[in-house]
Amino acid sequence: MKILYYATGGGTGHIVRGYSILRELKKKHELFMIASSPFVHILNNYGISVFKIPGEHENTLDNSIIIKNIIDFIKPELLIVDTFYYGYYGELEGCLQSKSLKKIFIFRYRHDEINHPDLSCYDLVIIPDPAGYGTLLEEKDNFIRTGYIICRKPEELKPACEALQYLRVSSFGKKIILVMHSGYGNEGENLFHMASQVISDMNRPEIIVRFASLETLKDPKLSPYHINYFPVVELLNPVDIVISGSGYNTYHEISMVRKRRVLKAFKRQIDEQSVRNSSEKYIFTDRKSLENCLLKALEDKSAVSVFPELYNGSSRVSRLIEEF
């Protein structure tokens, strides 16, 4: 079956969600993805043919025409649309009316819209959250809650001794703080600069800080600390504390691995990160609040609880696709 995953939008969220689902398909399929993220190279060697279209500010071409041409070229039998129900530019309305094309929608809560539109053109609507998280005005029979969609399972993480090599930490016995962020502009580097300065002022030589980001560095001084690795969740076993934003993927990957987290809510067009981290223990907004959170987190000996059954979303979605 020819499967096309529609993952336009910036950042890594859409493409990693698509990758998380497609990699678990057991039967032989032809896998395609349309993406505008600057990070599409991370999907190389995963058996997914990626059509990289220009980002919103990268060109003057009409992306809606580009996307229509790609769909006409592929002639998919199953179309999976992430977040933007009629397409980012509204360009999918025509093909969504096709009776011969199977269609799945990956629903995301969007703070830029109060109500979702008519989704009756989709055979299946996937809500990648567990029951009880968020409410919709109407969840019909073909709306299925799958749990969180993430790209690795606990047993797929690298052993601590191996992960330390990738983190460039030469010995056990150190406390490792990992800043994880592949955001827009200088968000990631600014976050790392803030965290490393706070940790430096603590004057605690047993603490090592690293910066995991898919971004190309703008500050060459960060090179010794920069970990450009996908998916970085594989390296979390020896990490003690993660400092990050509160995007869907990063937030749930850290939770699944039971790591203590210190979080910031970044402003996004559709994703309300402050809602996702509202019940968290350690939330910061500036340098002072980050310092307070880190001091408390370093002394916190309580266990980080997690419910493993909530993190099987990608497997469940792939099984639903196989049933098609």
- For residue 292, the domain's CATH number is 3.40.50.2000
As a whole number, the mean pLDDT across the chain is 90
Residue 289, in any domain of the structure: yes
Residues 165 and 135 in one domain: no
- Residue 242 within any structural domain of the chain: yes
Instruction: Based on the fold, state whether residues 137 and 239 are members of the same structural domain.
Output: no
Q: Which helix (H) or strand (E) element contains residue 179?
A: strand 175-180
* Structural domain contains residue 318: no
Residue 61, judged by CB atoms within 10 A of its CB (0-12, 13-18, 19+), counts as: exposed
Residue 114 confidence (pLDDT) = 55
pLDDT confidence of residue 56: 65
Return d(Cα 235, Cα 40) in angstroms, integer: 21
pTM of the entire predicted model? 0.91
Domain-terminating residue out of 145, 173, 193: 145
- Residue 230 domain flag: yes
For the cut 80, the answer to whether the pLDDT of residue 302 exceeds it is yes
Same domain membership, residue 138 and residue 28? yes
Q: How many separate domains does the chain show?
A: 2
| Res 26 pLDDT > 80 | no
**Predicted local confidence at residue 245, as pLDDT:** 93
| pLDDT value of position 13 | 86
58 and 136 housed in the same domain: yes
d(CA 278, CA 285): 13
Residues 92 and 187 in one domain: no
Of the chain, the percentage scoring pLDDT greater than 90 comes to 61
107 and 183 share a domain? no
131 with 174, same domain: the answer is no
% the chain with pLDDT above 70: 95
Q: Give me the pLDDT at residue 46, please.
A: 87
Confidence of residue 132 (pLDDT cuts 50, 70, 90): confident
Phi, psi of 80 (to 5 degrees): -110, 120
pLDDT, mean of residues 237-261: 94
Whether 227 is covered by a domain: the verdict is: yes
Are 76 and 124 within one domain?
Answer: yes
- Domain assignment of residue 201, yes or no: yes
In this predicted structure, what is the pLDDT of residue 45? 80
**Tell me, what CATH number does 118's domain have?**
3.40.50.11720
pLDDT for position 295: 96
Do residues 251 and 226 share a domain?
Answer: yes
pLDDT for 38 equals 85
Band the pLDDT of 58: cuts 50, 70, 90: low
pLDDT at position 59 over 70: no
Mean predicted confidence (pLDDT) in 93-120: 82
Q: What is the average pLDDT across 191-217?
A: 94
Report pLDDT for 64.
85
Q: Is residue 317 part of a domain?
A: no
Q: Is residue 178 part of a domain?
A: yes
Q: Which of 116, 145, 174 is the last residue of a domain?
A: 145
Which pLDDT band, with edges at 50, 70 and 90, does 290 fall under? very high
* 82 in the same domain as 187: no
Q: For 136-169, what is each residue's pLDDT tens digit?
A: 657 788 999 999 999 999 999 999 999 999 999 9
The C-alpha atoms of residue 177 and residue 191 are separated, in whole angstroms, by: 13
pLDDT of 71 > 90? The answer is: yes
When pLDDT is cut at 50, 70 and 90, the band that residue 258 belongs to is very high
pLDDT number for residue 256 = 95
Model confidence at 55: pLDDT above 90: no
Alpha carbons 234 and 208: distance in angstroms, whole number: 18
Provide the residue range defining the domain that includes 23.
2-145
- What is the average pLDDT across 311-324? 92
* Contact criterion met (CB below 8 Å) for 92 and 86: yes
Average pLDDT over residues 226-239: 96
Determine the Cα–Cα distance for residues 274 and 289; give it in Å rounded to an integer. 16
How would you list the strands of the sheet with 30-35, edge to edge? 49-52, 30-35, 2-7, 78-82, 102-106, 124-127, 143-145
Range with lowest mean pLDDT among 204-213, 285-294, 300-309: 300-309
| Predicted pLDDT of residue 135 | 61
Which of 145, 166, 192 is at the close of a domain? 145
Q: Is residue 287 over pLDDT 60?
A: yes
Shared domain check, 225 and 110:
no
Element at 51 (helix H, strand E) = strand 49-52
The answer to whether residues 124 and 29 belong to one domain is yes
More confident residue, 176 or 94: 176
Beta bridge partners of 85: none
